[in-house]
Every structure is written in C-alpha cells, then in structure tokens.
Structure 1
Amino acid sequence: MLDPRKLHLLRELARRGTIAAVAEAVMFTPSAVSQQLSALEREAGVPLLERTGRTVALTPAGHLLVEHAQAVLEQLERASAALAAVRGGPSGPLRIGAFPTAARVLLPPALAALSSAHPALEPMVSEIDPADVSAALRAGELDVALVHEYDFVPPVTDLSMETEPLFSEPMYLTDRPSLAAARDDPWITNKPGTLCHTMAIRACQAAGFEPRVRHHVDDFDTVLAFAAAGQGVALVPRLAALSPPPGVTLTELPLSRRTLAAFRRGYGDHPAVRAAIAAFETALTR
C-alpha cells in the first residue's frame, strides 16, 4: 500500500525540484525527506528517482506516480470535506490567506459575517502574495485564500488547486490620461516577482514603451502617497483607490484585476471553505 504522506512528498519534489526545497516546505530535514522517498520507492517496487551526485530527478515511473498521486490526494481531500459535513456545522481553525488590499478592504466585513454566522469557526488570516498561495495550500498552511489575476499576466496553473471567481475591478492610472502619456514619467511599481509588477511592465510594453521604474513598493496606500508626492505614476486597482490622497487624479483604464477564492482541489465542499466563500460574497454585496 502506497503511503499518501510519501506521495505528497513526491509531488512536492516534482514541483520544487530539490529535496532541500521540499524539506523547507514541509518542515522536515532533507535527510528525513530522502528517507521517506526511498521508502516510497521500496513500496512502489520500481525506481522513482535518479540520483546524480547531489541532484535528484524523477524517473518515468516517478512522473507516472505523480500523476496518480494528484488524483489520490484530491480524493482524500474530498473524503475529508465529506466527513466534515457529516460532523455538522463549520468549527475549529480556518486558515485564510489574502493579498494586502483584500485583507484591508474585504476581509474585515467578511470576518464579521463569518463570526456572526458560524461562531464556532476560528478564522486565522495571513497576508500572502498570490504567487505563493498554491505552495501554501499544498503544504496545508492555508485552507482557503484570496488570489488575483491581471490582464497581461497568464493565470497560475496548478492541478492541485481550484478557484472560484468572486469579482472583477478596473485598474487606474495616477495623474495621467493614458498609458502613452506616462511614457516619460518615472514609475512606481510593486516589487519584481509579483503579479502586480509583471502586469504593470507588460501593460506599458503593450502601450509601446519600457517603463522607467524608480520605486518598488508593494503597499498600494504607500504607492498613492508616493504619487501624491510627485514621485512617479502607478497603476492601482479599485480596491486600493477608494480614497486616494488629495492631489492624485485617477484615470480608469481598460484593464482589470480579478479576485478569486482558491483552495486545494477536492476541498471546495468542506463546510468551512463554503462558509468562508459565502462570507466573502456577503462582504462584497455590502
């Protein structure tokens, strides 16, 4: 019988590439991960890993088992969700991840609605960049998360994660009537590696220029404060632009940011996840 916990480690190795990265993600030692994977090979009866010096790669049999592992782990998530539904109403810890603007604007009313409807639930919120959500969900660090997608940025594809759309919001440009008019301005963008930064760079490139980035700032309130101080122009979503500082004008662009609820594949019917998504939707209607 193949151990699902070892299958999880094999799937993480396929995604992360090194035993050290898997060990860091699951909070094991590299030696413990290696031992677990060696035990899985013995259970499978075929080589799953090719070891060359300090590098490890999956064999064809290893890749085949990863495909089946995803289906097995998904079915176990479904079983967990079904058992939770049988036990009754949502209760216990609920780990929620959210990007900063959603945490500031959407989560306070959502948490109030959640506490009112399900007082036995204990929501615990962590701010997280959407690019890091799938790994956190797979590792069991989060149960549900708010993520976003932008125009010009392909959505993150992860077979272990499902999403449900919640809402779409327009993007605004500070202090200029169009992207083309901001060609020669200094820019304020989020840090490289974030979806927000990629969106801004590609939007400018689509308008025919490479932006001259002066500041890298992740917090949109700070971005708007910098714009008010004449430090550059920026693209901000509607959630971040509800109360712009004096002196900042905003031009709506034909660009959008879409917010979704994300959870482990097969886990979407868990009562706590359904309760969280219902609370998000309640907050949006208010």
Structure 2
Amino acid sequence: MSKKYKGFLWIFIFLVIIGVSIFYLLRQYDNQQANNTKLIQNNETKANKGVSDKPKIIEKKEREFTGVNIKYNDKSVPVLMYHSIAYEEGNELRIPKENFREQMKYLKDNNYTTLTLDELYSFFISNKPIPEKSVVITFDDGYKDNYENAYPTLKEFGFNATIFVITGAIDNEKDYLTLNQLKEMEQNGVDIESHTVAHEQLDKISYEKQLDTLTRSKKYLEEVLGKEIRYIAYPFGKYNTDTVKASKYAGYNMSFTTQGGWSNKTQDIFTLNRVYISANYGLSEFKRRLTNPNYNTN
C-alpha cells in the first residue's frame, strides 16, 4: 500500500469518526429538546386543568329582568336574615328545617325571585330593574347545618342565597362549615361572603383591628374560593364610622347590619337593613315581614 493511499485512508477514517461524533451529539440534542418540550406540555396541561391552590369557580352572570312586573330602585327589597337551620328548644336563632322548607315553599309557590348580592348591588347602584316580587336570602356565621339542612332545600327550589362566614371557624370548629362544603355550595347557587375572622364586635375595637379582620377574612376567602369577595355582614350587626371607613378601604362594595327592615337606596350602601327571621315566628309572621316594607313600624 502506497504512502499516498494510506494518507487518504487515515483522512477517511478521521472524517468517519468526526461524522459519527456529530451524529451522536445531534441525537443527544434532539432527545433533550424532546424532553424539554414534553415537560413544557405537561406543565401547560396541568395549568389548563386548573392544578393550583385555587378551585375553578363558575362565573355567575347577572340576569336581565324585563316585563311589566318589574321595579326600579325607588322601591325597597326584603333581605332575609337567617342563622342556623336546626332545632334547639329555646334558641330562636335555630329554625327547624321543616319550618325553613315551609318558608321556601311559600316563596316558590308565590313566584318570588331570589336575587344574588351582585344583582341587588346593581339594582341599588345602577338601577337595573328586578322583579316586583324579589327577595334576598342570607345566613350569618356559617353553621354546618346550613349545608346539611338549608342547602338541600335551596337546591330543591333552585334558589340563590348568601352565607356570611366566620373564616377562623372554617375547618377548625365542628359546628361550622368546612372548606369543601363552602366550595361545593359556591358552585351551586350559594354565594360565600365575609363575616370577619373571629366574629369580632366591630364597634368595640380600634380602626386598625377592624381593618385587619375585614381584610384578612376577605383575602382568605378570595384565595381559597378563587373569586373576589365584595360583601360583608357585620357581626352582631354592630358598627361605627370606623367600620364603614374600614369596609370601603378593605375593598367591599356593600355591607349589612341587623337593623330590622327592608333594604333601600336611601340607606348607606355600607349599613343596609335586613329582615330577621326567628324560630318564634309562624308562617303568618313570615308572610307579613316578606310583604310589608313597614312591618317593623306596625
């Protein structure tokens, strides 16, 4: 074999080695890119499926009401105030579930529309019309019997309602609602809103403490429910000028007291009245409070 031929052979072998090395490196690069692409796709899939700390909440749309039997915000609306739906002798805050169902059936049989708080807010602020026979159903505190006894009846009749919850009691106190129960109801017609962190009597504490409990309860519910918290009911119905100031600063749109009477736009949007419903009342008193805006002056 001539020296010239040997030289070409070594050059050929060298080029083959270089080619194989380049091919190997390109394969490694392609495999790495494929793995990276797969990882990105998996992360995007998780994100699209809502794999996060926040649950997927169905957006609730306000209804448009038209026709002859509607009213505008020169009129009042009864906002019913419940607490516990259960039986306890001598406790007027606990309404037996049979009585509660009887009241809800009356609303259904008499063609009442149960408004969401968003719809009530738009009625007051934007003068969006609502049915003449409109009512708002609210519960204070967040007792577990709201889920066990009230929720099935609300679903049966297709009613909207709102529960103002004490956030410090969630998953911490046995007689109060769990987070899973709140999430389920939130997606099925029951709006969850704030009732402070620890049911503090707001007019007895400083502005700073009021702002803290109003802000922390709002932030917690927003994080766990994945929605904006816009409304609050004051514990014991108590408030002062600092409470109104703190509610506005914390970012609430509307607040409720326990002052008896129908709600209307002449009241401060941060100190609205409600209609107290007691276990001591029969159906006739329920009807009177529901149909007479001036029931508490008679």
The verdict on a shared fold, with TM-score over 0.5 as the criterion, is no
Range class of TM-score, shorter chain: under 0.3
TM-score (norm: length of structure 2)? 0.24
Bigger proportion of residues as strand: 1
TM-score (norm: length of structure 1)? 0.25
Which structure exhibits the higher relative contact order, with contacts defined as CA atoms closer than 8 Å and separated by 6 or more residues? 1
User: Computing the radius of gyration over CA atoms, which structure comes out larger, 1 or 2?
Assistant: 2
